[in-house]
Structure 1
């Protein structure tokens, strides 16, 4: 992750220091505060105190409606993952009793490949190939965690059955935006019908990241290992195979900055060797991920018609949606078989 200096007046570091004292953390002045840049609207600030480095994660200064609840869930999830083999940021302490909610975590020693590849990764094809497999390793570790460590965290009952109606309803809601003519997405209804007909009969609930792709992974600086899965805003208890489907749906279209990744079939086979989950319906999960992500991105296209997003962004994301539905067609045709 990259950093830049910020206006420290945006955060009350005196109050933060007092809170840290109450947590029994090392004392002293807070030094070297800098914003951590990432793909989230939440605020992340790196600083040092008492010879130790921290990352503070808190809602944006102008809080969104669900900002505090999202961070409560993240903090609870990260606390549950401490002591597991899942590569995740290590939670230090969290303030969830009042708002704004925030938490402290240890900085991750690693890099995000979307910002470029360091050495030895840039010049070693074997490392880059292995990076793709390590993404499967990290996901399989998450799938092994007992969801019972997070009681009441999600609604796994009927999780898969809810997906198609949930996202078709989301797509219908875009019609409330002025000027949006409705979705022009070839294959939309065909895909929805295929998903309904091929719904897996059952699944084993587990912890889901909810947005599992390369931009949300940090890799070790000295090799292909995943140092941390980051940005847990969409985490829930559901079907972990949908995370694998999400990785396949965005593979390799969002991973062009890492040439030489393994093909999707190899990725699936590697995950299967690490997991006791039934992957016989993996094509369904890949199609479902394309369907959901395509509808989510179409929302920006609809908002652009209403003047609530730049037209060029809306057009770009609509094109991405069309690409995702074309990719869903490939999965339905059995490219993973």
Structure 2
């Protein structure tokens, strides 16, 4: 039983009253840490906050556990949650366990040689349909009526991510304050309030090959009640990236033939949900800002030796391209 960075398997086994455990860090996560754990007979996935520098409210295991539990039985596919531990003395931080689900979080082409153009098109539609299904869930009906404060959501989001930026600011970032100010000056009025995921994208869902489907939506750490178009704007950013070859924002899967365009995703969402998407430019600009702040926070943790995983040395190079894309997107903001 070899311990992992951020996970003492001996203490975990004692806490769970299981035989000795083995595990591995699941690569690809840029914020909360995710591990695959087994006692030989049972298999779980464990989530815990990052090591060291943690932004306020951004890594709340109890909130993530609560929303996944609440969505069980709805049209939104989620794993079954098994255990929540809020005692940091067990492994050094709060954590929760959930069942391991089939499928793969697709990011690179070599993960899905089976993905034909027809399947890519179907997966595009399924991804949008699951998002529309999430936004159709009545929060009060699933016990999440008090999960957030929808009134003033967008203004608070701009303020919140501005504060997160200030908490992780360690270098000059030309244009990022201008982008924040433009967003703050042009906040739209939300048409409705729903459960929002907060980080919805292709590699935050598990995809099965046969049949091609989504078995689970993952990474609910930023879920709340708010404006659903914030999810759609962020999905567009993850879909289009920053225009680089081998774009690290989109990954390489979305370059395969058959995937819908961002505009086609938007049209399908509007049709499926009945939402007015005429002001989506603001939401897209905000998504660029939010992602820039998230990645700058990861860059900060990496430079101070407080996070683990591959590729973190390149994360900081994305902040300014995202800022430039966000400023460009504000050209369509009314």
- Into which bin does the TM-score normalised by the smaller protein fall? 0.7 to 0.9
> Would the aligned equivalents of 1:164 and 1:195 in 2 still touch at CA under 8 Å?
yes
Residue from 326, 329, 333 that aligns with 1:328: 326
- The residue aligned with 2:160 is 166
Q: For 2:107, what is the secondary structure of its paired residue? A: helix
- The residue aligned with 1:104 is 97
The farther-off stretch of 231-240 and 37-46 is 37-46
CA distance in 2, matches of 1:318, 1:98: 29
1:34 equivalent to 2:23? Answer: yes
Residue from 108, 113, 118 that aligns with 1:126: 118
Of structures 1 and 2, the larger Rg is shown by 1
- The residue aligned with 2:246 is none
1:77 equivalent to 2:74? Answer: no
Change in CA separation of 1:62 and 1:6 when aligned onto 2, cut-off 3 Å = farther
Change in CA separation of 1:43 and 1:110 when aligned onto 2, cut-off 3 Å = closer
Shift of 1:281: 1.6
CA distance in 2, matches of 1:92, 1:314: 30
Q: For 2:215, what is the secondary structure of its paired residue? A: strand
After TM superposition, list the pairs within 5 Å mapping 1:303-322 onto structure 2: 308=304, 316-322=314-320
- The residue aligned with 1:21 is none
Change in CA separation of 1:274 and 1:34 when aligned onto 2, cut-off 3 Å = same
CA distance in 2, matches of 1:314, 1:36: 15
**Runs of 5+ unmatched residues, structure 1:** 19-28
Q: For 1:242, what is the secondary structure of its paired residue? A: helix
CA distance in 2, matches of 1:63, 1:317: 16
- The residue aligned with 2:245 is none
The farther-off stretch of 126-135 and 193-202 is 193-202
CA distance in 1, matches of 2:159, 2:57: 26
- The residue aligned with 1:295 is 293
Tell me how large the CA RMSD over aligned residues is.
3.6
Q: For 2:60, what is the secondary structure of its paired residue? A: helix
Length, aligned pairs only: 308
Residue from 251, 255, 269 that aligns with 2:250: 255
Q: What CA deviation, in whole Å up to 9, does each residue of 1:19-73 have, x standing for no partner?
A: xxxxxxxxxx647733251415435233257x65433445578896879971111
Structure 1 length as normaliser, TM-score? 0.76
Q: For 2:220, what is the secondary structure of its paired residue? A: coil
> Would the aligned equivalents of 1:43 and 1:60 in 2 still touch at CA under 8 Å?
no
Change in CA separation of 1:278 and 1:98 when aligned onto 2, cut-off 3 Å = same
**Runs of 5+ unmatched residues, structure 2:** 242-248
- The residue aligned with 1:25 is none
Change in CA separation of 1:63 and 1:10 when aligned onto 2, cut-off 3 Å = farther
